Each structure stands twice: as C-alpha cells, then as structure tokens.
Amino acid sequence: MPATDFSFSDINGADLPMSRFAGKPVLLVNVASACGFTPQYADLQKLHETYGPKGLVVLGVPSNDFGAQEPGTEQQIRTFCETRFGVTFAMTAKQKVIGASAHPLYRWIAAELGEGAAPRWNFHKYLIGRDGRLLEAWSSRVGPMSKDVTGAVEKALA
C-alpha cells in the first residue's frame, strides 16, 4: 500500500487526499509551534520555495503528541505559521502521530519501517517517493536544508 492511499483534512478543514500528490515526492513533517525545533519552519518554507517548483511537496502535520507543544487550534496554528515564518506549504489539521490512535499514515510508516521509525519528537521528517513508497527518514535534529535532506530530495526529483 503506498502513501497515496491515505487522506488527511487540511488545516482549513478541506479534504486532503495524499493521492493529490501522486507522482511527486513528499516531505512529511510533524510540526509544533512551541518547540525548540520550531525555527525549522523557516527552512521548511525555504525547501518548499526551492524545490516546490520542481515538484516537491512539503506537508506539515501539526501534532500535540510531544511535550504538549502544539496546543492551539488549526486557525491559531495557521496564523502563527503564516505570520512568524511566512509558511505557504501544505498543512494538515492537527493529528496524533504516535501510538494506536495515530493517523493511519503514521501507523503505516511504523509498520513499514518498524516502531523505532515512528516520530520521537516534533519535526521528524519522512521523504515519500513519487511512487508513494518511503525513501528516507530523519530525526528532529536533522534540519530541512541539511545536505542529507536536500540531497535525498534532489535524488527523488531526478
């Protein structure tokens, strides 16, 4: 089963099927507004601006699973991201990303890569290939504009 078989609601409440991104690589990132890694929003936006025109989709998934660092509503999250970091990349509604009640895509990731690959904190990153298969995963400490991430993105876009 590819990632394109799953669906979210976007941050505005509209349907956001992953099939919309079929044929494009997707960088899936669980995000939070009150985390030490929150400044990564700026580099996620930079990644979106640099590689989005070439086909990359950056998809932020707000989650309150780690340290209760995303307590806001979708409207508060959207306003924070837009005003503080100029975020224009796609964002889902707030989701659980770990455990039995995690969003089905995150449960699929844990099943595909093993429980150890589930997010351990905010700003965990997964690169999904054009075919909907998982290509890479990075911990929160690996920045979106790091050579590891940009190199994998460029390879996925090639």
Q: Which residues are catalytic?
A: 35
Sheet holding 125-128, edge to edge: 90-91, 57-62, 26-31, 125-128, 134-138
CB 31 within 8 A of CB 63: yes
Cα–Cα distance for residue pair 145/134, rounded to 1 Å = 19
